Structure 1
Amino acid sequence: VEFVTVLADLQAEASCPICLDYLTDPVTICCGHNFCHSCISMSWKDLEGSFPCPSCRFCCPERKFISNQQLGNLTEMAKLIQIRGTKRRRQEETHVCEKHNQVLTLFCEKDQEVLCLQCSASAGHQHHRVWPIEKAAPAHRKNLESYIAAWEESVELFGKVLTMQTRKSLELEKKVKSRRKEVKSEFEQLRLFLQNQQETILRQLQDEEVDVLAKLNENLTKISDHASSVKCLLKEIETKYAKSKLELLASVKSIYHRYKTLKCPEPFSCKLEEYGYSFPPQYSGLNKIIKRFRVDVILDPLTAHRKLIVSEDRKAVRYGDTPHNLPHNKERFYLCPAVVGSKRYQLGRKYWEVEVKDKPEWVVGVCDQSLPRRKKTQNQPMSVQHGLWGIGRCSKSNYIVLGPKKVNLLPKVIPSKVGIFLDFEMSRVSFYNLSDGSLLYMLNDNFTGPLWPYFYTGTDSKPLKICTGTGSE
């Protein structure tokens, strides 16, 4: 049985998947599969660009065949083995025992062997159930019927699976092709956007150069005229100085007046504008972040400063004038009107939104356990502090970023709502201006522990509100 199995495997390996016959002039393509040279040549006859393997559908980049002489030799050997196996089967069909040269008429149930009368009497088959072939064959044929039915079901199932997998391969190819077009289109739009931005900024810079140069020339003319007036006045003073006493005193009033009223023009200060640009909302990736990573943040009243008022749903907080009589808690903020979220984050990506509206002072972001909550230095939330990564407002028009260093921001559109995206995989916190969908700032650092959403209210009575989300934790 093992010989037959090995022979079948060898014949399968030595056969061409296209013509299903023994390989003739076998060649190997880049994915490793083998074919007759004539078969694969015919299969790729009218193809250009890419050449799919008939077996695995892998797309070869070029029409390249590698001759496989060793496989050709093995194919010839398989042919010879088949011829000898055929002769052997003919001998077996005579139903004669090779050992005793007697007709095979019995079957050993335990050893599953066909026996002659002399074999059945040997010591090796004593106490075994031995019965005639005429009775054993129908019994085993009936038993194999159940196997055949099960195998037919398996073959049918595998056929369906194969069809489904083949369909998935084609669907994947279509999806990749479609996505490739989308990516190219997106990058082409982005290239055009950047090109337009560049042309706009360069044009603005050129216009500013012309304007500044005109003002500079005008200033030079004024300074030159002033220098000429000073020279004339100096010459006149020198002339009057040499005159008689009476003539000198008669003209001194006019000279003093002209000297006092003669003002030098201010030198023109040449300072170019700072030009910049921001990506349009569709390139910030904000929509995808909101859909996939949004979490529902609520406040932890046990950490709130004594003068803070947390709403009943723990979604809003504001500063009050009267301190509350609250139990001591080492996690509470005592000198700074701040509070943190009730849940800490230390894995994955999280996104939430905070409504700030027109509050004159606020900070939102994340903090870790090391952020001081009782020290006097914490009474200055607008300074750089260890353990805090945030963005905020400290005056009517001044916006800042707090992190490894302090950065001043000048957003073109004033944010009334801020989105915070915490990415532990990249050790990054990003802040989005939801008024125009732009990225305000991105902080990169090395997060070594859990982080909490952070909210600083300032000392005005206007609230900070966490926008209700539908994301999962």
Structure 2
Amino acid sequence: MAAPTPRALRRGEISFKLDERTAHSSLDLFKKDTSVIYRIVGIDPTKVPQNIERFTDWAVVLGDTAVSSGRHYWEVTVKRSHQFRIGVADLDISREGCIGVDNHSWVFAYAHRMWSAMLANKTTPISNIGHPERVGVLLDYDSKKLSLVDVSKLELIHSIPAEFQGPVVPAFALWDGELLTHSGLDVPKKLSGN
């Protein structure tokens, strides 16, 4: 029996939860599946329901809502994490890889106190941003662009051009601490012209 596909979204605000079926065994979901925490030991993989949707080699989890058009915005609160990735991925991204290392995902990565944009294993450093407490992600599917947003100023920090092949879902990778997602948000008016 095939796993159900994420619900599709065409226009307006995106509201999503993290999809337990995709979560690597080292990730625990909580707060009604809107937050994820990294566990060093993780869950015994033999006790995690096995399915073709689950990431097997990397600590990745996907959102449960697919986007195929429009502009969408969500925010992420970072708690005690010094190494993570946030962005979007194709629905059919390989469950053996990590987000940001192929041409099926577009992410912003934070590691070693530095930000970078990642696509197809190419890394572009991003300057003028420190360790975040909360960041925004603006997905403009129709203009083929993913942007990192400074939530305190509501300004775009960096944008990645994206050749989407089909519907994409929010994507997260985490190697310490926790991330809390905030969806169901309107695109801020200050970002409407960007």
* TM-score, with length taken from structure 2: 0.80
Q: Deviations over 1:53-73 (max 9, x none)?
A: xxxxxxxxxxxxxxxxxxxxx
1:303 is matched with 22
Q: Is 2:37 the partner of 1:318?
A: yes
* Equivalent of residue 432 in structure 1, options 143, 149, 166: 149
Q: Distance between the aligned counterparts of 1:468 and 1:426, measured in 2? A: 21
Q: Deviations over 1:11-30 (max 9, x none)?
A: xxxxxxxxxxxxxxxxxxxx
* Equivalent of residue 71 in structure 2, options 331, 349, 354: 349
2:58 is matched with 336
Q: Deviations over 1:59-114 (max 9, x none)?
A: xxxxxxxxxxxxxxxxxxxxxxxxxxxxxxxxxxxxxxxxxxxxxxxxxxxxxxxx
2:192 is matched with none
1:365 is matched with 87
- How far is 1:386 from its partner? 2.2
2:116 is matched with 400
- How far is 1:336 from its partner? 0.5
Q: Distance between the aligned counterparts of 1:430 and 1:445, measured in 2? A: 10
Counterpart AA for 1:400: S
Q: Distance between the aligned counterparts of 1:398 and 1:470, measured in 2? A: 27
Q: Deviations over 1:144-181 (max 9, x none)?
A: xxxxxxxxxxxxxxxxxxxxxxxxxxxxxxxxxxxxxx
Q: CA RMSD of the aligned region, Å?
A: 2.3
CA contact (8 A) 1:345 1:451 kept: yes
2:5 is matched with none
CA contact (8 A) 2:148 2:159 kept: yes
* Equivalent of residue 178 in structure 2, options 452, 460, 463: 463
Which consecutive residues of structure 2, in runs of 5 or more, have no partner in the other structure? Answer: 1-10, 188-194
- How far is 1:409 from its partner? 1.6
Structure 1 runs of 4+ aligned residues shifted over 3 Å read 468-472
Max Rg structure: 1
Q: Is 2:173 the partner of 1:451?
A: no
CA contact (8 A) 2:74 2:185 kept: no
Local SS of the residue matching 1:467: strand
1:34 is matched with none
| Correspondences of 1:94-105 after superposition (within 5 Å) | none
Counterpart AA for 1:386: N
| Correspondences of 1:276-295 after superposition (within 5 Å) | 293-295=12-14
Q: Distance between the aligned counterparts of 1:448 and 1:337, measured in 2? A: 24
Local SS of the residue matching 1:406: strand
- How far is 1:359 from its partner? 1.2
Q: Distance between the aligned counterparts of 1:457 and 1:353, measured in 2? A: 16
| Correspondences of 1:373-384 after superposition (within 5 Å) | 373-374=95-96, 378=97, 384=101
Local SS of the residue matching 1:302: helix
Higher relative contact order (CA 8 A, sep 6+): 2
CA contact (8 A) 1:416 1:434 kept: no
- How far is 1:357 from its partner? 4.2
CA contact (8 A) 1:358 1:416 kept: no
Change beyond 3 A, Cα 1:446–1:415:
same
Counterpart AA for 1:337: A
| Correspondences of 1:75-154 after superposition (within 5 Å) | none
Q: Distance between the aligned counterparts of 1:470 and 1:297, measured in 2? A: 11
Q: Distance between the aligned counterparts of 1:440 and 1:422, measured in 2? A: 13
CA contact (8 A) 1:371 1:386 kept: no
Q: Quick one: percent identity of the two aligned structures?
A: 27
Q: Deviations over 1:391-450 (max 9, x none)?
A: 02111x221111253101222443221211111211111111213333121111221201
Q: Distance between the aligned counterparts of 1:332 and 1:351, measured in 2? A: 25
Which consecutive residues of structure 1, in runs of 5 or more, have no partner in the other structure? Answer: 1-291
Counterpart AA for 1:401: A
CA contact (8 A) 1:293 1:349 kept: yes
2:128 is matched with 411
Counterpart AA for 1:399: W
Aligned residues: 173
CA contact (8 A) 2:66 2:91 kept: no
- How far is 1:343 from its partner? 1.0
Local SS of the residue matching 2:116: strand
Counterpart AA for 1:339: V
Local SS of the residue matching 1:415: coil
Counterpart AA for 2:75: E
Q: Distance between the aligned counterparts of 2:119 and 2:84, measured in 1? A: 15
